[in-house]
Amino acid sequence: MNGKNTVEIKTKVIEDAKSVFGIDNKNELFSAVINLNIKELKYLKTRDLEKTSETPPPKVDSYMFVYKFIDGYLAFYLSEYTGIWVIKSFKKYDDDYGKKETDLGRQLRELGLI
């Protein structure tokens, strides 16, 4: 297990977090994830990681959350090969699940309050 980096965040995750939630870097993303209210996370599903050379493939857990009045989607997994947790997604909860931004969130965004 690599003791230096125990959590990895994919570049696309930072890009998505910035465009949706205004999160600019890995430290802000770590802070956002750590401060999510665990009681309000809604478990969605567990599936095998696609496009991996690991056998068996890691299991990806996904959750819905609300951050800055926006419904979000968080997915992560533990690589048994490297021993590193990987944040695979931190983005808007989208059409894949039939959900959009909350009405209150949209109204606040239109008013320029968030």
CATH number of the domain that residue 13 is part of: 3.30.2310
Q: What percent of the chain has pLDDT over 70?
A: 79
Domain that holds residue 35: 7-106
- Asked if the structure places residue 113 within a domain, the reply is no
This prediction's pTM = 0.76
Q: How many domains does one find in the chain?
A: 1
- Asked if the structure places residue 20 within a domain, the reply is yes
- Determine how β-strand 42-48 pairs with β-strand 59-67: antiparallel
| Among the listed residues 59, 62, 60, 58, the one whose alpha carbon sits nearest the alpha carbon of residue 44 | 62
- Asked if the structure places residue 27 within a domain, the reply is yes
Residue 26's Cβ-count burial label (10 Å; 0-12, 13-18, 19+) is middle
Q: Where do runs of H (alpha helix) occur along the chain?
A: 11-21, 26-34, 103-110
- Asked if the structure places residue 86 within a domain, the reply is yes
User: What does R_g of the chain's alpha carbons equal in angstroms?
Assistant: 15
- Asked if the structure places residue 21 within a domain, the reply is yes
pLDDT of residue 99: 45
- Asked if the structure places residue 2 within a domain, the reply is no
Residue 61 above 50 pLDDT?
A: yes
Residue 111 above 80 pLDDT?
A: no
Q: Categorize the per-residue pLDDT at 95 as very low, low, confident or very high, splitting at 50, 70 and 90.
A: low
Residue 39 above 80 pLDDT?
A: no
- Asked if the structure places residue 97 within a domain, the reply is yes
pLDDT of residue 68: 84
| CA dist., res. 91 & res. 112, Å (int) | 20
The residue whose two tokens read 């990681």 is 49
| CA dist., res. 23 & res. 31, Å (int) | 10
What the block records as the tokens of 35 is: 């401060």
- Asked if the structure places residue 19 within a domain, the reply is yes
